[in-house]
């Protein structure tokens, strides 16, 4: 597999990142800038009015080579910015619970329609590479460990929307006249600094910090393949610089672990038990996720580097250093 040197090829080139003010997006922006790329970030949230966006982009906004544009992916202003060497598409409606019912219209607009606009604009602007963020939610109840060429059985509207978005992007890339090579990364439960407050590890650390019990959905025996954010970002960079194209690739952490094991690790890291209130499982949450990452290893050269204890320690240190910033809005 042909592999490029990202650090060398990035210097002086332009990367466009959608969802740049978000959790993974802002971490990716920082990494690209550190590697010498010029970066244009697009997000509907403005650092001037949104405190979370301001905190996430604080470093980037003071770094030469970064331009921020408050825009929707489908805005005309955003289309004019797509003369990029590579596009990382991370903008999306996220979360399983909010995707049920009338909110699904937002997921269709933000995950499917926006992706459709983006892939068309990439073709028109002769963008050579598109890296799309997908999700392990596309697997649902499929047999595990989940392999990219195995069954896709999403059990939530969110999972359905992410599957439709990646298949749409890959369908465009498969056309004989397409100039844009595309790879979709299926991320498994990313955590770390800047993680959304509604996600599990954020809620656990928030509960420890405040003493306010968190809702523990299910019995704690459900399993997840947690992926630290720097591993996720490294996978994005690898996807930008390899010849892997026209396919989906699983990106996951070292192992699938139970939620109870995560609670125990949080207690070890913080020195305090996590206060919880047990409640029923939620619709759309699979009992277990576990990734087959052989394609990522062979095609991208990806291997996870951060263990769960190390990752939770780094997220806890970040949360404490950020003082009140991570408490904005509280956990869902």
Phi-psi domain of 189 (left: phi exceeds 0; alpha: psi -120 through 50; beta: other): left
CA distance 278 to 295: 37
Active-site position among 107, 139, 158, 302: 158
Sheet of 38-43: strands edge to edge? 66-70, 38-43, 14-18, 86-89, 129-135, 181-187, 247-251
Helix/strand number for the chain, H first, E second = 12, 13
The set of residues, in sequence order, having a beta carbon less than 8 Å from that of 322 and lying 6+ positions away, is 55
Residue 302 a catalytic site member: no
Alpha carbon distances (Å) from 323 to 6, 71, 314? 35, 29, 15
Pair 98, 141: CB distance under 8 Å: no
Catalytic site positions: 158
């Amino acid at each position: 597999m042909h592999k490029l040197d990202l650090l060398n090829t990035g210097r002086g080139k332009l990367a466009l990142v959608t969802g740049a003010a978000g959790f993974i997006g802002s971490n990716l922006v920082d990494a690209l800038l550190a590697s010498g790329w010029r970066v244009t970030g697009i997000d509907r949230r403005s650092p001037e009015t949104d405190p979370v966006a301001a905190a996430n982009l604080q470093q980037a906004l003071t770094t030469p080579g970064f331009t921020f544009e408050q825009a929707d992916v489908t805005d005309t202003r955003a289309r004019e910015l797509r003369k990029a060497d590579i596009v990382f598409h991370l903008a999306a409606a996220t979360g399983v619970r909010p995707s049920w019912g009338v909110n699904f219209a937002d997921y269709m607009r933000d995950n499917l329609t926006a992706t459709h606009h983006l892939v068309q604009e990439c073709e028109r602007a002769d963008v050579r590479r598109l890296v799309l963020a997908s999700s392990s939610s596309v697997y649902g109840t499929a047999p595990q460990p989940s392999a990219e060429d195995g069954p896709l059985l999403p059990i939530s509207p969110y999972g359905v929307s992410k599957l439709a978005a990646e298949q749409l992007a890959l369908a465009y890339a498969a056309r004989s006249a397409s100039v844009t090579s595309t790879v979709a990364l299926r991320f498994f439960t990313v955590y770390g600094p800047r993680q959304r407050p509604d996600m599990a590890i954020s809620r656990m650390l928030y509960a420890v910090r405040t003493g306010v019990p968190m809702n523990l959905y299910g019995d704690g025996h459900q399993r997840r393949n947690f992926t630290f954010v720097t591993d996720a970002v490294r996978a994005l960079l690898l996807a930008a610089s390899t010849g892997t194209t026209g396919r989906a690739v699983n990106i996951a952490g070292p192992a699938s672990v139970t939620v109870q094991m995560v609670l125990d690790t949080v207690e070890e890291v913080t020195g305090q038990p996590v206060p919880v209130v047990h409640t029923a499982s939620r619709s759309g949450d699979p009992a277990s996720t576990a990734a087959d990452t052989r394609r990522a290893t062979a095609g991208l050269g990806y291997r996870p580097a951060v263990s769960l204890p190390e990752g939770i320690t780094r997220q806890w240190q970040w949360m404490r250093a950020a003082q009140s910033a991570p408490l904005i809005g509280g956990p869902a």
